[in-house]
Structure 1
Amino acid sequence: MSADPSASPDPSTDTLTQPAPPDISDALAARLARDVWGIEASARALGSHQDRNFLLERDDAPPLLLKIANPSVTAVELEAQSAAAARIAERAGCRAPRALVADGATVRPVTVDGVEMQARVLEFLEGSTLTGHLSRAAVESLGALAARVALALEDLEAPAAERSHQWDLRQAPGALAEMLPFVDDAALRERLADASAAAWAEVGAVAAELPTQFIHGDLTDDNVVTADRITRLPDGVIDLGDLNRTWAVGELAITVSSLLHHDGVDLAAAMRAVTAYHRVRPLSPPELRALWPLVVVRAATLVASAHHVLRTDPANAYAAGNLLHERAIFDAATSVPLDVATALVLRTLGQSAPEPGLPPAQPLLPWLTADDVVVADLSPTSPHLHEGRWLTASAEHDVMSGCLDRARVVAARFGEARLTRSRPLAPDEPHNVALGIELRFAGRQPLAAPWAGVVAVTSNGVLVGTGNWTLRLDGVRTALADGSAVEVGDLLGEADGSLWVQVVRAGADAPRFAPRSLAAAWRAVVADPSPLVPGHPARSSPGTVDAAALLARREAVFADVQEHYFDDPPVMVRGWREHLVDADGRVYLDTLNNVTSVGHAHPRLVDAVAEQWRLLNTNSRFHYPAVVEFSERLAALLPEPLDTVFLVNSGSEAVDLALRLGQAWSGRRDVLAVREAYHGWTYLSDAVSTSVADNPAALETRPEWVHTVPAPYGHRGASPARYADGAVAEVERLAAGGTPVGAFIAEPIFGNAGGVALPDGYLAAVYAAVRAHGGLAIADEVQVGYGRLGEWFWGFEQQGVVPDIVTVAKAMGSGHPLGAVITTREIAHRYREGGYFFSSAGGSPVSSAVGLAVLDILRDERLQENAREVGGYLKARLEELGQRHPLLAAVHGSGFYLGPEFVRDRATWEPATAETAAICARLRELGVIAQPTGDHQNILKLKPPMCFSRESADAVVAALDRVLTTGW
């Protein structure tokens, strides 16, 4: 399939490629529509490689498509395309453009500049093609659609319409031979020729076993449409201009190749289309073997064809615009060896891929025993990498060197996902899975040839080839000459300090590290060299976890109501500051963990817990210093007269106790709560929770003693003062009706409702009204308190009020179960009159030590100030993003308590619920963990650990900008 670079191409001699049709103006197209079909319409040119397409727009009727075929296309072929479209519409569960019938035919001849061409008028399918980022669901849907179309066409018979042309992958060798000389870039031309020749050799081995049928021939992102602008799932098929009888699997290869230029669709993501196709139309073993080679052939044909079209039709803007992404398709298709790509296909479909083992060999270091070798743990759970040590440039050297105290040789595992190769704020999957083993020595170590072979000397070591395998040893000093023959046991040279060992199939090239999504597929050309080292355990990495199997175990034993983030959640095994790390070493930016206030795995907090637990941990009725000191410091954070502390284990318990205090004080059960709020899961805290996002029946199932007022959303058009007046009026109405409220509970800034600030003066007005009738004011600070707002330590400070009771949790324990209620001595004493209060673990020695450590860290590391500065910076950047993206309508909150809100219409404030869910899923793919909140689930909860850095803020904005720009 190679082409002669020196050939002088002559377009007139092409046999498989098509001549360019004559230019047709919009005015001429409109005149043809009127004269030939009697259609009065304006015409607007649409792009095409080989045809001339026009949108016909009519005043009082749906638009139509005038399609004038290339002069080489016959009427019989076009009639077959019309028949195929009808079958797809009837059988494939999607829309397809039916042709208008005139005088019993769908095809009419037209003549332009003396050239006769065949033309049709088709229904125009409303909708958009697939551009930008494609979601997991969109990729899967496209694969399934390709399979349904193949089944719809499998019995189509139209022998007179069968033809040879450049887009029939069976004709690729001839087509490329004609088109490659038009590629002026010699290096690119050589790449195209070599890649397509290698791919064609693989196809040729199974070509006779590949089933044939009529296929669409160009079922790509450009030739499907979606009417749903939110899900963007394809529901229509257009442009059957390449309909032909050919290999059925060629359609899937065409579809898959079209995905490879989209933002976020790499080889592993493209496999979702293959899986979806296979579920509908199972692929045979020969088709599985041919699939990726055909993807490569298709990619090469696209690039060569674009160059050919631009040489023969220089004004073809459509071809010029497509060339850039066609190059991207080719680069992606050839980014791994064919054997690796095919192994990926097989593994994706749950089929075994060949994993050839090592040939017979003796140890590389035969003078060592198993006791001489120790394995270094560089996995995501390695104890050597605590406290952020995995982020240092010398981490691998430090860990392996530290292990040399116990052995002569230290080995790093094959197939291990090294945390040391992962980095925070990276939007892409890390290349961190070792495709070889690394050895470290205390001194020089001689190396023996494990098998007989021929030596090639490199700049950094030697290669030892034998049969189908090549042993790569980097870090070797050798006296052997290039091309030397060695026998088993011959001295190869000496390694001084370190050695990289890799075994690769002869002729293949493999990287040292691969992303987890491709690592298993690389086993098609890479063998595990661990058996060459005595005592080295092969492929035993403690960080490897089967996420799907673990999720199945969770669902088998865990109550369904205990939900988890994402449908296919990553397995988190480590946290550090504002970062989370999964079992494969992927590092995520944690933007929602308001529980872990001071950051994940804070060393001071770890040490405080360990030290106190070594000393004492018992129930809180014992007398010990920590609980006293912690309670004193907690009370000192509140204004007078709030001076009395209850310690509990959670926010739910804190709210429950606060409501009991209110009942004891007033002698009344009635409570006033704000809608769209969540307060907890205990009986009383759930009773006053009104968020329908947490409980769709929340408002209908409240006890009769719970009364509610509207959530005061001043930014949605209503006067802020009206909310306060309405709430006060409700307090007065209840009092007049004989049910005055004993307590009013509200978050000073909405938590689950999206970090929305209350209107100025709201709490002052409502607190005064409630107190006038003998009730208490409860500030639920479980989510918002403890400095997260930046400007204020407590949310109620923003309103300029002092509540009667404050509830707090989450931040005060930074992940440890710790909560508190702070009130006045008088209110606490009234509760005492009705019984007693006791919490076994609330305020235990360890819990108190945790609380003290958190307060120390907040103070010493100035985390409230960080929330003010970095949180303010993040909010400003998000607001600037909203100026460029209409979907982002507002950014609520303050500090590290922010809520970007997404709406479809800023006038009606229609919530963009589905879009927000999709945005969160896309952010996760880019390494940012975010979740929706609010009753309409259209607000991002941005409540990160308070150590969140400016660089992390920039990363969040960059990721969100990318999503809003390229799609979700």
Structure 2
Amino acid sequence: MPETVSLVQSPPPEVSLDEAGRIAGGLFGVTGAVRSLGSNQDLNFVIHDGHVDRLLKIANPATPATELEAQSRAAALIAERTDVRVPLPHVFADGTSVRPVPLGGETAHARLLDFLPGRTLSGNRYLSPAAVRAIGRLAASVDLALADFDDPGADRVNQWDLRHAMSALETLLPSVADEVLRARLSVVAAEAWAAVSARAAELPVKVIHGDLTDDNVVSSDGRIPDGVIDLGDLGRTWRVGELAITLSSLLHHDGVDLTTAVEAVAAYHALLPLVDAELDVLWPLVALRAAVLVASAHHVLSTDPGNEYAAENLAHEELILEAAVSLPMPVATELVRGAAGEPGAALATPSGRLIRRRYTPGLVDFSVTSPSLDEGWWLDEDAEASILRAAKAEHSFASSIATRFGEPRLTRSRPYAQEAPENVPLGLDLVVSEHVPLQAPWDGVVEASGDLVGNGLRLRIMGATGVAAGPVREGEVFARVADHATISLVADGIAVPTFTTAALAPAWRPFVADPSPLFGLPPAMIHSGDAAWLLEKREQHVAEVQEHYFTDPPIMERGWRELLVDADGRVYVDALNNVTSIGHAHPWIVEAIRRQWSLLNTNSRFHYPAIADFAERLADLLPDGLDQVFLVNSGSEAVDLALRLAQAHTGQRDILAVREAYHGWTYLTDAVSTSVADNPNALETRPEWVHTVDAPVSSRTDDPSRYAVDAVAEVERLAAGGTPAGAFLAETLYGNAGGVALPDGYLDAVYTAVRAHGGVAVADEVQVGYGRLGHWFWGFEQQGVVPDIVAVAKAMGNGHPLGAVITTREIAESYRTQGYFFSSAGGSPVSSVVGHAVLDIIESEGLQENAAVVGTYLKERLEELGSRHPLLAAVNGFGFYLGPEFVRENGTPATEETAAICDRMRRLGVLIQPTGDHQNILKVKPPMVFSRASADAFVEALERVLTTGW
């Protein structure tokens, strides 16, 4: 039995702000403005002397000076041995830091400490995985620093020492008026204490911080903790108690589920390895801590009803309790072990057969890549039942059909969910076309439910008929399946759900066996969705400079319309993929490619109808005179060819381009790309024949017309200097800067000036063209101009490599001075058919109109959101070419915030990325099938991020 805790400390006497100021001045010589900080047991006041803040701590009178001096010495040791920021105390000439303070007939003790700048992680705001890992590292760093700390002031007994939790609860529980809650706390504590007691003798004991929680860590940047405060619970106890206390404090934060919380375990374990016994007791201690927290809050409120700090904390602590007991303790312990790289062995399937060989089932595939779920069939609520019925009818060779064990089912995944789906089956379904007898695969006892129990296992059968309850011998028939049964094999005594999430599935494996062999099926290939392994493989062989989205990207396996699905069956709203203009996996495109490839796909220099038909259709989409089409494979190739045409036609090598733009990766397009986000050295490395003008972003000036004036002046300067621009190149709506519309009349003025000196106007429509703006099919239409050369790509092939340059016959013929042109695959039969199909779909499904209607709706919702969250300063663009822009209060680009917002959005099921030279704008360029429901999901996720943090 743990040592008895006699009494929980009573609240400290009240001290006014004026009185606190007098104490600070009288004892420590510090004066200034005073404000109070909340606390359960002590009094804390911030003293600002006009330059810096200091913290006056008045301890509860029940706290002796020896304990406070031990805290001061521990803080000094942490500061000396780590890079963790920690508040150091004012130390007097005699080496002490504590002074007595008479208060209301009692003697308390005061100290003056540094006040750490930054913000604590208090409250329930979002904690990123990086922040969770950082707090785990902080806990390990502090424990390492105090590894040999030995001070008599650290030998104390208090309610927060988890060794004495049961004794503390004896004192605290009578204050819990709710009988149901009181009973529940007792049950949770008893189960946790039983698990801890079994290994208590093996647990290392040392001095720990004792309260290293979200309230007591400080972040310089508001996100990643780098400092520790308040050593008021310093004491000698089980070392693992430090991490248990830290873990419990994370569980009420938005975005921190159990699988995220244990990342703190991994970070701690990497610095300070936990012994086996510590891994076994860590989660029970988390549950025990949760029970003490809730009971303590009730106790404080019963003795100090006006304590707002305790009342606010109680709401958080109730969430901590719910999370701590949301998994059976053995399963949560396995989650801990997995995070520490010490997973338990999977539960083995015993030998034996549940059904006779003649009934061995065929398998049905509900996985993310199942052909049965093509064309969005997985979204049908009745998909599973329909496919099972069809499979049963088709499998004439088998009288039964079974589903796969342990594999994420796409049929259980849904769009717009901000949390991961519970789609991993911990059993399998059996569907039969005739009555199939079930025989005991081992000796056991059959329960009335149809479950077979024996050898520590439970063969759980839901849907059995004709159950013969009682003892049964191996091979004896004990029940039948008449239609459909769900069967799982689990450790007896563990409540196992039918489905779990992909992240939690490994923690269940020591308690759930694969029942497949009982049916004569091979063991299931357990899906891991190991994105880290695949990323490592990619980085070994794919050149590192070929970047990918996100630092820890999910594995994408399937797309449908504006949705993407990863290997774990998580569904994402794709808000950035302007490559797939008409949506992922459009059946018309799939069939067009299949059919044409079955006929012919070859070098584009052969003669076939598709290329002529497609070129004619492209020409018909442009103003009269722009009727000569070159077909290529990408946007880079299209812009490169457009500029080469311009140089060949004009005989003028020099090119005028707009700053902050990206045009491609070829030599020529890279030379005219000036986006420092894409190439930090872009402005310094461009050749002498490339000239630039300011990005015409209207919001940066009170007079947007000046951009055209300045650009025309540059055209005139180049001409006067003998190097007139042979081409003026610009995106017709400014994409890289975040979907910013050019000032009215800008292109007309610059096009006119360039043409006056023999140059031509090149419109980069690679991103903006093809109806994405909604109100216009081409971006240059928004400016009321007609370019001489148009380059387009991305949307043309819906992910198939396809680009085009469209110009006049005169300009096209000029290329002959350079030789002749061909692209082996550009305009191939398959590419041409794909291009035709994309245009058919845009027209027949009204996707340009959809971009106008839904894009306007999305923009309006984002602007309303910005009215409530000042960080969202503007929403640029039109249709499905939008750029929500984030700016700090001081007017500087919110670059770091935007990156973090994108990462959080991905965790909420929305894919988005930053753009612009300052990377502070969201690249909102979704497939043009984007629906109002997807727009709502996007805005709701962003609102959650802006409200709860990133």
Q: TM-score, normalised by structure 1?
A: 0.95
* One-letter amino acid of the counterpart of residue 967, structure 1: G
Tell me which of 259, 275, 282 is aligned to 1:291: 282
Tell me which of 165, 172, 179 is aligned to 1:172: 165
Q: Give RMSD over aligned pairs.
A: 1.6
Q: Aligned residue for 2:561? A: 577
2 CA distance for matches of 1:479 and 1:598?
A: 54
* One-letter amino acid of the counterpart of residue 256, structure 1: L
Kindly report which structure 2 residues correspond to 1:770-789, keeping only aligned pairs within 5 A, or say none.
770-789=754-773
1:528 aligns with 2:514: yes
Q: Aligned residue for 1:80? A: 70
Partner of 1:750, secondary structure, is coil
Q: Aligned residue for 2:446? A: 455
2 CA distance for matches of 1:46 and 1:834?
A: 76
Partner of 1:83, secondary structure, is helix
Kindly report which structure 2 residues correspond to 1:682-721, keeping only aligned pairs within 5 A, or say none.
682-721=666-705
* One-letter amino acid of the counterpart of residue 83, structure 1: R
2 CA distance for matches of 1:544 and 1:809?
A: 37
- Structure 1 unaligned regions, length at least 5: 3-12
Partner of 1:457, secondary structure, is coil
Q: Aligned residue for 1:27? A: 18
Shift of 1:833: 4.5
Q: Aligned residue for 1:6? A: none
1:603 aligns with 2:591: no
Distance 1:633 1:798, change over 3 A: same
Shift of 1:634: 0.8
Q: Aligned residue for 1:567? A: 551
Q: Aligned residue for 1:893? A: 877
Q: Aligned residue for 2:908? A: 926
Shift of 1:489: 2.8
2 CA distance for matches of 1:349 and 1:251?
A: 16
1 CA distance for matches of 2:231 and 2:386?
A: 61
4+ long deviations beyond 6 Å: none
2 CA distance for matches of 1:754 and 1:20?
A: 55
2 CA distance for matches of 1:494 and 1:916?
A: 58
1 CA distance for matches of 2:464 and 2:288?
A: 40
* Aligned residues of 2:5 and 2:157 also touching (Cα < 8 A): no
Shift of 1:492: 2.3
1:476 aligns with 2:464: yes
Q: Aligned residue for 1:396? A: 384
1 CA distance for matches of 2:158 and 2:404?
A: 51
Kindly report which structure 2 residues correspond to 1:257-336, keeping only aligned pairs within 5 A, or say none.
257-336=248-327
Tell me which of 899, 918, 934 is aligned to 1:917: 899
CA deviation profile, 1:458-516 (whole Å, cap 9, x unmatched) = 4xxx22221422121001123535xx332323332221211111122222101111111
Kindly report which structure 2 residues correspond to 1:757-906, keeping only aligned pairs within 5 A, or say none.
757-905=741-889
* One-letter amino acid of the counterpart of residue 653, structure 1: E
Q: Aligned residue for 1:115? A: 106
Tell me which of 186, 197, 200 is aligned to 2:193: 200
1 CA distance for matches of 2:854 and 2:926?
A: 11
Kindly report which structure 2 residues correspond to 1:388-787, keeping only aligned pairs within 5 A, or say none.
388-404=376-392, 405-406=394-395, 407-458=398-449, 462-480=450-468, 484-534=470-520, 536-540=521-525, 544-787=528-771
Partner of 1:910, secondary structure, is coil
2 CA distance for matches of 1:666 and 1:852?
A: 32
Shift of 1:788: 0.2
* Aligned residues of 1:763 and 1:799 also touching (Cα < 8 A): yes
Tell me which of 369, 376, 397 is aligned to 2:364: 376
Distance 1:617 1:367, change over 3 A: closer
Partner of 2:120, secondary structure, is coil
Kindly report which structure 2 residues correspond to 1:340-379, keeping only aligned pairs within 5 A, or say none.
340-358=331-349, 360-368=350-358, 372-379=360-367
* One-letter amino acid of the counterpart of residue 405, structure 2: F
2 CA distance for matches of 1:488 and 1:926?
A: 49
Task: State the identity as a percent.
Answer: 62
Tell me which of 28, 34, 49 is aligned to 1:43: 34
CA deviation profile, 1:278-299 (whole Å, cap 9, x unmatched) = 1111111111111111111111
2 CA distance for matches of 1:498 and 1:610?
A: 37
2 CA distance for matches of 1:573 and 1:220?
A: 39
Q: Aligned residue for 2:224? A: 233
CA deviation profile, 1:318-363 (whole Å, cap 9, x unmatched) = 11100111111111111111111111111222223133323x4531
* Aligned residues of 1:671 and 1:742 also touching (Cα < 8 A): yes
2 CA distance for matches of 1:506 and 1:844?
A: 62
Partner of 1:116, secondary structure, is strand
2 CA distance for matches of 1:75 and 1:14?
A: 20
2 CA distance for matches of 1:338 and 1:289?
A: 10
Tell me which of 144, 149, 152 is aligned to 2:145: 152
* One-letter amino acid of the counterpart of residue 288, structure 1: L
2 CA distance for matches of 1:816 and 1:160?
A: 71
1 CA distance for matches of 2:196 and 2:467?
A: 44
Shift of 1:818: 0.7
Q: Aligned residue for 2:204? A: 211
Tell me which of 925, 948, 963 is aligned to 2:930: 948
Shift of 1:367: 4.8
* Aligned residues of 1:21 and 1:70 also touching (Cα < 8 A): yes
1 CA distance for matches of 2:31 and 2:649?
A: 81
2 CA distance for matches of 1:544 and 1:39?
A: 59
CA deviation profile, 1:880-934 (whole Å, cap 9, x unmatched) = 11111111111111000011111113xx641111111111111111111111111
Distance 1:149 1:672, change over 3 A: same
Shift of 1:544: 4.8
* One-letter amino acid of the counterpart of residue 28, structure 1: E
Shift of 1:423: 0.6
1:224 aligns with 2:228: no
Shift of 1:718: 4.4
Shift of 1:203: 1.1
* One-letter amino acid of the counterpart of residue 459, structure 2: L
* Aligned residues of 1:786 and 1:811 also touching (Cα < 8 A): yes
Shift of 1:591: 0.8
* Aligned residues of 2:133 and 2:267 also touching (Cα < 8 A): yes
Distance 1:147 1:44, change over 3 A: same
* One-letter amino acid of the counterpart of residue 411, structure 1: A
Partner of 1:261, secondary structure, is coil
Shift of 1:836: 1.3
1:68 aligns with 2:58: yes
CA deviation profile, 1:118-176 (whole Å, cap 9, x unmatched) = 22222221211014111122111111011010011111111244111100000011011
Deviates most, 444-453 or 704-713: 444-453
* One-letter amino acid of the counterpart of residue 238, structure 2: W
Q: Aligned residue for 2:184? A: 191
Distance 1:663 1:120, change over 3 A: same
Deviates most, 22-31 or 776-785: 22-31
Shift of 1:694: 1.0
Tell me which of 334, 337, 341 is aligned to 2:328: 337
* Aligned residues of 2:5 and 2:167 also touching (Cα < 8 A): no
* Aligned residues of 1:664 and 1:831 also touching (Cα < 8 A): yes
Partner of 1:476, secondary structure, is coil
* One-letter amino acid of the counterpart of residue 966, structure 1: T
Distance 1:471 1:25, change over 3 A: same
Tell me which of 112, 117, 142 is aligned to 1:126: 117
1 CA distance for matches of 2:107 and 2:542?
A: 71
- Structure 2 unaligned regions, length at least 5: none
1 CA distance for matches of 2:109 and 2:68?
A: 8
Aligned length: 943
* Aligned residues of 2:633 and 2:826 also touching (Cα < 8 A): yes
